[in-house]
Amino acid sequence: MNMKIRVIIKRLSNPRVKRRLKIFLSVWGSVIMIGLTFKLGYDIGYFDAQSLENDQNAETPITQVLTMESAQRIVSGALKEDPANPKTFVAQVINNNNKLSTIIIENNKLKKIAWIMDMRLFFIADLFNSQGFNLTESIEHTHNINRGDH
């Protein structure tokens, strides 16, 4: 065993072998460094591209269109009516906006203005804008709907 180690050390001490070993180790180290540099560059580029894609996906709003059927489902669910046989019907979708939609509902031949917020929340009440203008009354006047409380 000791003899084998001496033979290996003797061969490695030869100047020609030392020079070849240095060249081999230098080339091998350079290849590893270039590979790591490319890998690091790829990872940085991939993560930057992925974060840019995630930011773009977060910025694009998901636009949902309020149809008569979806408005009817929201109204039936809010009033806890049977969706297959509702008592309150959606007569018309006036303003189709994904934040605040205006609809006309009809129950027992009485029409009212209703509001759907964020495609989920349904309510029947007066809605005022920032200047204090009653939006519900203006829409009722525009569509010739008589209020039941007058």
| CA angle (138, 72, 65) in 5-degree steps | 75
Is the pLDDT at 77 greater than 50? The verdict is yes
Give buried/exposed letters for 37-62 (b at 16+ CB in 10 A, else e): eeeeeeeeeeeeeeeeeeeeeeeeee
pLDDT digits (tens, 9 = 90+) for 106-140: 888 888 888 888 877 777 888 888 888 888 888 88
Query: Long-range CB contacts (< 8 A, 24+ apart) of 89-94?
Result: 92/143, 93/66, 93/67, 93/68, 94/139, 94/143
Question: pLDDT for 62-71, tens place per residue?
Answer: 667 788 888 8
Q: What is the pTM of this model?
A: 0.54
Rank 6-20, 27-41, 110-124 by mean pLDDT and report only the highest. 27-41
Cα separation, 37 vs 102, whole angstroms = 58
Residue 146 has φ and ψ, to the nearest 5°, of -85, 135
User: For residue 61, what pLDDT is reported?
Assistant: 62
Tokens in use for 28?
């091998």
Distance CA 148, CA 107 (A): 12
Average pLDDT over residues 82-106: 86
C-beta separation of 147 from 138 below 8 A: no
pLDDT score, position 37:
93
CA torsion sign for 111, 116, 122, 126 is negative
